[in-house]
Amino acid sequence: MLILMNFYRRLLEYRLYIAIALVILTVVLGFTKYDGWFWFSLTLAFVAVFSHLFFGPIRFIQEAVQAGDMETAKKHMNTVYFPRLLFKPIRQGFYMLKANMAMADKDFGAAEDLMNKSIKSKSKVLGAGNEGNAYLQLGMIAVQNGKKNEAKKNLRLALDKGLADKESKAAAYIQLCGIELQSRRSAAATNYFKKAKALKPKTKEIKDQIAQLEKHIHNRM
């Protein structure tokens, strides 16, 4: 069973190259008397091309990102030549993963553009929480670019659309709290801070941010 699974995985991973080889084989068979093999090869080539164009290597990209192997993730992304042909749920995930990688590279302009493309490709298959996460990322990008009003709008949209976990919700409230503090709106900042703290996030980074905000708010009061 393991051998079959590995074989299937290799077929998926290299299906584009297999498709090219099958197209060449089909052309060669077209000049021979083996009509049956010609149509068989052509059918396999069509299936391989269709699979790659409309489904893409999203599974391999996700696995590489989760493993922290950005080079492999980028290698698979570069095989997607026509992302608009991907089925909507897959296209949405593809643009989101690519946007996250752009953010990691601090290319916030590209990240914003890709995240907007992800939102435009939204699909009910992935659920509302995924759309909420896209707006959260847009809010984070706007914060990095110093666009406070745009950041507030997107962060609020993220919360309205729904976020999948407490950590994401807390991150949104923390960013909103920081924006209100910068704008000297202490009451609104304190309100967002209390909401973030009430979620009791477990991520160290978010817990540290809450601790810093608590000291800052306490010193201003």
Average pLDDT, the chain: 84
The model's pLDDT over 53-111, given as tens digits with 9 standing for 90+, comes to: 888 888 888 888 888 888 888 888 888 889 999 988 889 889 988 888 888 888 888 88
CA angle 168–172–178, rounded 5-degree value: 140
Count of CB atoms situated within 10 Å of the CB of 165: 13
Residues 6+ apart with CB under 8 A from 58: 86, 90, 93, 94, 97
The model's pLDDT over 107-123, given as tens digits with 9 standing for 90+, comes to: 888 888 888 888 887 76
Label each residue of 95-156 as H, E or C.
HHHHHHHHHHCCCHHHHHHHHHHHHHCCCCCCCHHHHHHHHHHHHHHHHHCCCHHHHHHHHH
- At residue 2, the pLDDT reads 64
